[in-house]
């Protein structure tokens, strides 16, 4: 059975009986893990094995960007916030690029050896200095620097056997409001957004970016719907103008920024009809079953799923040891 269009979460360190049943639902396509799902490296490997035993084809992912957003700690290399790379760029661009690639490689190797396919990274939002929820998760305030560093980061992920997901398309860095708890509105024109926020996406797509996650942000000068519900942003701009052929994941539909479409089922349908391949439903177990049912029979392109699968990677080899050393030295 091919994976479906819903990525859901699980409650604890092992699968509950009802969660096993949900994993077997034809609409389920993946599982996103959180800090609550992690106790130790051994337990995490057991959990990912348990998930794959229930449904071998599912994608398993996590938010593992570094800095404030790193769900797994013990047994994993501590990853710095991406702003550190932008600061290093100002001193030595070549060193910063090498460190970005090393970080991507370390993340990929460590996730892959614990049974995960990828992290929802890199964040390619431009740091306009106004967004607290983005903040030091962004590489830089310069689109060309973001493109270079995120490109090296993606190269490291790829070399380590993991896919990549650029977020939050077309950009979350300009607005002050946090889409987890509000409905952000970005009043800029399309031209302003294209000249800054879209630049890194064009460069990354040309160099193998495998996934994109749109923002729960409304750009009223362009469309009255948030980007994740907008055919203009997802079809006309991302697919057609930028030529992206990979997976589009909605951001979590339980966030307040997604609420403009109605209830959970309406949100899921709006995202899929706009052009998302897979929707995320997190921290809302009461909503998952309805979303699974409403998206039954909504196939996901198998080629896009396949591109998101982990490739095994090279393990903890000499390159990994060197990369870990570089990361630790940078954060000492």
- Cite the active site residues: 180, 251
Spell out the residues 6+ positions from residue 287 whose beta carbon is closer than 8 angstroms to its own.
254, 263, 264, 281
How many Å apart are CA 255 and CA 27, to the nearest integer?
Answer: 21
> What is the number of alpha carbons within 13 Å of residue 32 lying toward its C-beta?
20
Q: Please state the length of the chain.
A: 332
The dihedral over CA atoms of 128, 129, 135, 137, expressed in degrees to the nearest 10, equals 40
Torsion of CA 281, 284, 288, 294, to 10 degrees: -70
Q: E strand or H helix at 114, and its extent?
A: none
Element (H, E) at 6: strand 6-8
């Amino acid at each position: 059975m091919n994976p479906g269009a819903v990525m859901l979460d699980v409650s604890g360190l092992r699968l509950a009986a009802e969660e096993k049943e949900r994993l077997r639902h034809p609409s389920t396509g993946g599982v996103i893990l959180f800090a609550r799902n992690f106790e130790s490296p051994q337990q995490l490997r057991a959990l990912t094995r348990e998930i794959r035993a229930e449904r071998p084809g599912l994608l398993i992912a996590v938010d593992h960007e570094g800095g404030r957003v790193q769900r797994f700690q013990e047994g994993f290399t501590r990853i710095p916030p991406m702003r550190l790379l932008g600061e290093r760029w100002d001193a030595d661009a070549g060193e910063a690029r090498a460190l970005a690639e090393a970080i991507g490689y370390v993340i990929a190797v460590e996730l892959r050896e614990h049974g995960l396919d990828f992290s929802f990274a890199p964040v390619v939002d431009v740091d306009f200095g106004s967004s607290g929820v983005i903040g030091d998760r962004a590489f830089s305030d310069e689109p060309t620097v973001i493109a270079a560093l995120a490109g090296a980061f993606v190269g490291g992920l790829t070399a380590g056997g993991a896919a990549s997901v650029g977020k939050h398309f077309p950009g979350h860095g300009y607005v002050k409001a946090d889409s987890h708890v509000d409905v952000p509105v970005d009043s800029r024109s399309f031209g302003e957004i294209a000249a800054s926020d879209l630049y890194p996406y064009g460069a990354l797509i040309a160099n193998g970016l495998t996934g994109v996650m749109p923002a729960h942000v409304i750009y009223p000068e362009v469309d009255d719907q948030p980007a994740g519900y907008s055919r203009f942003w997802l079809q006309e701009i991302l697919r057609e103008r930028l030529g992206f052929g990979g997976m589009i994941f909605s951001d979590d539909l339980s966030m307040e920024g997604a609420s403009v479409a109605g209830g959970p089922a309406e949100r899921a349908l709006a995202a899929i009809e706009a052009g998302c391949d897979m929707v995320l439903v997190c921290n809302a177990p009461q909503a998952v079953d309805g979303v699974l049912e409403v998206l039954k029979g909504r196939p996901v392109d198998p080629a896009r799923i396949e591109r998101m699968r982990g490739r095994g990677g090279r393990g903890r080899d000499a390159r990994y040891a060197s990369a870990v050393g570089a990361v630790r030295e940078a954060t000492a």
